[in-house]
Every structure is written in structure tokens, then in C-alpha cells.
Chain A
């Protein structure tokens, strides 16, 4: 099915750096969910956003639901080795479920 534009596709950072990724769409959505997936495992929900403009934090993670309802970003502050993995956005609106293409985060020693 349709996929959301998620960027960047991959990131190589050093431990301690901040990370920012986003998802954009040409359609309006009612919900944005951010997930992290470790190799061989299912995605784990990080943050859920249900209202335009909503800004939500979960520890070092912060995500925002864009005012236009067409985008969302996820920030990770002071990255640590266990942040390595693939991050996905997932959204739905008008009975349509759509995924981001994923951002692969690698931490360089």
C-alpha cells in the first residue's frame, strides 16, 4: 500500500548526539505513531500522537504531530548504543493505514 515519506533513510551518528527524523504525507491523518524495531523483532511503540500540534515526550524521545496533520517528527536526545535500530512512523486517517519507509539509526563507536 501507500507509504509515508520518511527521512532520512539512514543515519550514522556518534554516541551522545541528538537525532531527528520526520514523516510527511500529501494526505491528512488523524493519528501518528512512532515505533522502533530491533533486528528479528516486532516494532515497539515509542510515542502515540492523536491531536494536531500535540508534542509528547517519552524520556529522551520527543515527537510532534504537525499542525497541518500531514507530518510528524521524532527527536532523540543524547543518543546511547541501545538506540540503534529502525524507526518507523505509522499513521491512519479515512480508514487508511500507512507506514513510513523507516530510518535506520547506526551509532559509530
Chain B
């Protein structure tokens, strides 16, 4: 079966712009979570959605937001981009409560 699909794979934006990243979970998976990965900070949890509701949120500013649709697909939005937002953004899906997350290949965002 298809894995977790993230689009786009690569993105270059300028400071001040906003960006939307997309994640399509494995069919049947209702939990979707987002992570930021940088060389300096490692993997940092952004937020988690289950059945269209945000269930958990990490310590990121309000510029980072997300949502989940009725088909479990999720989007993440970052407004007013800063250079420090350059990172690999990973999405993961799970079939039910936090059982064996499957990660996508990520979106590499570069802010210039």
C-alpha cells in the first residue's frame, strides 16, 4: 500500500513569505503529526491531529499552524517565514492512537 506522501519534496521561499505543506497519510490512518528537523535542534514535534482535531501541540510560535481534513489529509502552514525556519519538515501517520508512526520522506524548506 502507498506510504505517507508529502508534497512538495523541495521548496525555496524568501523571508516574509508564507508556505503550505501537504501530507497524505496511509489509507485508513487517522492520526497525522508534523515535525521539524534541523541539524542543530534535531527532531522537534510541531502538532498532532486526529479526526480533524488538533490533539497536541509543540512549543512553536503561532506562525506555525496546521489542519486536518475529513479524508485525514493534513496541511501545515508557516507564515512570515524566517531564515531559521529552513528545515526538513516531516509528517507521520498512524492507524490509531500513537501506534507505530510511519513517516513520509519530508519537505525540505529553504528560506533565503
Listed in ascending order, the chain A residues whose CB lies under 8 Å from chain B are: 1, 3, 31, 33, 35, 40-45, 48, 88, 90, 92, 95, 97, 99, 101-102
Contact = CB atoms under 8 A, between A and B. Distances in A.
B101 interface: yes
Given A33-B100, A33-B101, A97-B56, A42 B43 contact: no
A1 B58 contact: yes
A55 B36 CA distance: 30
A22 to B, nearest CB: 17
A92 B42 contact: no
A42 B104 contact: yes
Nearest to B58: A1
Contacts, number: 50
Contacts of B49: none
Contacts of A33: 100-101
Contacts of A3: 42
Query: What is the interface residue range for chain B against chain A?
Result: 20 to 34
B105 interface: yes
Contact of B98 (A40, A44, A92, A99): A92
B42 A102 contact: yes
B59 interface: yes
Interface in B50-97: 55-56, 58-59, 90, 92
22 contacts: A1-B44, A3-B42, A31-B98, A31-B99, A33-B101, A40-B105, A40-B108, A41-B106, A42-B4, A42-B6, A42-B104, A45-B100, A45-B103, A48-B99, A48-B100, A90-B43, A90-B101, A92-B98, A97-B33, A97-B48, A97-B56, A102-B43
